[in-house]
Amino acid sequence: MGSAMEQYLINEVNRQTRLTEAARNAMLSSAARRPEGIFGLHASGMSVRAIASKLGCSPAVVQSAIAQARSSRPQIARRENRVAYELHRAVATHLDERPNEVISKTMENVANMRSKKRDPFSLGWVSLWEQLLQGDLERLKESMLEISTDAEDLRQMSPFSGVLSDGERLLAIKKAAKYASRITGNRNGTGEPRHRDEAHDNA
């Protein structure tokens, strides 16, 4: 990943750090995001020492932040499911920051998805997304990041196209790759997705 992405991530970490000094409530929110920013820098290819130097902290602080971010992630065996999970984690951040804009855009996507010919199984996931988007925001985020077979299928029919920038998508993929679970095996014994209809219509 180029220097532009590294600078973006460094600026984001520093921005979140400044927010922690502004007010107690901002601090509580930002404290959770600082490890994620450091995690992203490391996933992008920066060494622990390089991150520490850029942020003006010790390598031990960076290592602790990376460990915290890693521990917040579930073990997911299959690559496509890890990538979808990371993409939806990134979308959840946008839902926190600009919920109305994201939901409005996503409801347009749902309408477009409905306009295409699909099998009843796929239409069921589209309908579920529509219900979630019209309901409670916290419930939506919980469902997006739930760890279950149904949630994995739901994420494979994601309606969040256009919410993430190309850089955010690439970073999510790098996170999924660098900190992949080493578990082997798959759901159906073949290693193939349960269905491929719009497998990455996604975020």
Higher pLDDT, 28 or 179: 179
Domain ranges of the chain: 3-71, 79-178
Question: What sections of the chain are H helices per DSSP?
Answer: 3-22, 24-43, 48-55, 59-71, 79-97, 99-115, 120-133, 137-145, 149-156, 166-178
Dihedral over Cα of 169, 175, 177, 178: its sign: positive
Q: Are 48 and 62 within 8 A, CB to CB?
A: yes
pLDDT over 90 at 94, yes or no: yes
pLDDT tens, position by position, 68-87: 998 888 988 889 999 999 99
The pLDDT of residue 8 is 80
Q: Which two tokens stand for residue 77?
A: 């065996």
pLDDT-based confidence at residue 199 (cuts at 50, 70, 90): very low
The crossing angle, in degrees rounded to 10, of helices 24-43 and 59-71 is 90
Q: Are 41 and 51 within 8 A, CB to CB?
A: yes
Average model confidence (pLDDT) for the chain? 82
pTM: 0.73
pLDDT tens, position by position, 49-71: 999 998 888 999 999 999 999 88
